[in-house]
Amino acid sequence: MNIHDYAHQLAKALKNSDEFRQYKRLQAEVQKTPQLKQMIDDFHKRQIELQAAQLSGQTLDQSKTEQIQKLYEVIAKDPMAAEFLHAEIRFSQLIGDVYKIIGEAVDMKDMFS
């Protein structure tokens, strides 16, 4: 079996994982409520902007960090949104675990030195 076959098997396993199935189910539920979807999209957008600034070495704007935290607190009061964000985190952690396993197996830390 070649590496691409293994990658396809991994993709299939991820797609069939409880984490992914729950994430997709809750994502579909969130889509049914446009206002909730918009709030979550706005939260994601602000979160990505903050992470991009951080990765580019910019000093983090405390007010933007606080705005994101407040937006999260508002969103998390909605049980569906809280459950969705939790599922999103669980799936992201699963993907992160896979990256870590692959990175450690091929000793990637030396690739960027």
Is the model's pLDDT at 112 over the cut of 60? no
Q: pLDDT tier at 9 (50, 70, 90 boundaries)?
A: very high
pLDDT in tens, 71-101: 999 999 999 999 999 999 999 999 999 999 9
Is the model's pLDDT at 110 over the cut of 70? no
Residue with tokens 């809280």: 82
Rg (CA), the chain: 17
pLDDT in tens, 11-69: 999 999 999 999 999 999 999 999 999 999 999 999 999 889 888 888 877 888 898 99
Q: Using CA atoms of 41, 44, 50, 53 in order, give the dihedral in degrees to the nearest 10.
A: -90
pTM > 0.95:
no
Q: Where are the alpha helices (DSSP H) in the chain?
A: 3-15, 18-31, 34-55, 62-76, 79-105
36 or 109: which carries more pLDDT confidence? 36
**Per-residue confidence (pLDDT) for residue 113, from 0 to 100:** 55
